[in-house]
Amino acid sequence: MSTAPPFSCSFSPQLPELLVRLKCSIAVSTYQAGKIVFISAKDAASLVQLPRTFNQAMGMAISGNKMAVATKDEVIVLVDSPDLARSYPKRPNQYDALYVPRLTYYTGQVDIHDLHWGDQGLWAVNTSFSCLALLTDEYSWIPKWQPPFIDKLASEDRCHLNGLAMRDGKPRYVTALGKGNTTQSWRRELTSGGVLMDVQTNKIILDKLSMPHSPIYHNGLIYFLESAKGRLLACSPDKKTFDVVKNLHGFTRGMALVEDYLFIGLSRLRQNSSTFSDLEMAKEATHAGIVVMHLPTRAIVGELKYHSSVEEIYDVQILKGRTRPGILNTVNPTHKSALSIPGATFWAQRSK
């Protein structure tokens, strides 16, 4: 049997059409493969992918022309430079955007999950220390909030705090896989101990959830993924009730909203994983990819399935207004030649 080439995938014909119409590209993080993958429409009938290595890539944050990526022990901030994109020596005039590394936060190995920009700066879900943190150039990070059932900061991943939704520029809603206060206590009720919480009130909105992830606040509702049941839920934070929006029949994690469309990540679960191998969902989670749902009608309008390289997706983000973006990482020295100053850009000659 022949082996599928790296990042081989199949997709529904509607997906490139939709990306063309929305004038955007998809960014996917896959910590298992250690990649950020940009997915763009080459035309209305075909897609093109651009994978770049980022060590254990997890959460991503997009704000204007900035992009942040959480890695194994750093958070890397990249900035889009259309001028550098046009003059990129290896592929001139191919990209309409080029995300170039400009800043690295040395956070240490604290298992950062979701990232978001807010009024105060770049927020990180510090899963190891069960807290929300602001990233800074003075410290590894600044702890700002922790669930009331966590009694101290400790590198023990007590509740597996993972998801963060912003509201009015501030952290407002979080997801966690449990509400215990001892080392990795969330594992004891893996499929029934999850919670959705209000950061402002310190109250639990929903409990007994099955591995909740990826909350988004939109039009008065909190949309989030109940990963181990493969479904998308919508919660009214005031009424503390929820509606099952869609059963997606796979392990759901990573979600982004653009206009009326939700882009949702699916993961193929490893049978040898201590976290996933015993889940009933493991039998259904047979592929990794992306599904696109039209929120008003709840109809699936596009899908991509990976056949190689990608098994576990953590985050999905949308690059608005970028139809063929490029990205440089800090592994390859090319980024050191990409120079920008106010009003000008240069590709420096590397010394031998």
| Choices 3.40.50.720, 3.40.50.300, 2.40.160.100, 2.120.10.30: CATH for 9-347 | 2.120.10.30
Q: Which residues contact 283 (CB under 8 A, 6 or more apart)?
A: none
Is residue 66 scored above 80 in pLDDT?
yes
Alpha helices, H only, the chain: 14-22, 82-86
Q: Are strands 24-30 and 261-267 parallel, antiparallel or unpaired?
A: unpaired
| pLDDT tens digits, one per residue of 239-290 | 999 999 999 999 999 999 999 999 999 999 866 666 666 677 777 778 999 9
Cα angle value 100/101/104 (rounded, 5°)? 165
Residue 138, classed as helix, strand or coil, is: coil
Average pLDDT over residues 223-232: 97
Residue 153 and residue 83: Cα distance in Å, rounded? 44
Residue type, 25: S
| 1 beta partners | none
Separation between Cα atoms, residue 99 and residue 116, nearest integer Å: 17
Is 98 within 8 Å of 85 (Cβ atoms)?
yes
Cross-strand pairs, 35 = 30, 53
**Which pLDDT does position 280 carry in this prediction?**
75
pLDDT at 1: 44
Write down the residue that tokens 């950020």 correspond to.
36
Supply the pTM of this predicted model. Answer: 0.95
Measured between alpha carbons, how far is 24 from 323 in angstroms, rounded to an integer?
Answer: 5
First to last CA, the chain: 45
Place of tokens 């022990």: 73
Sign of the Cα pseudo-torsion (150, 156, 159, 163, in order) = positive
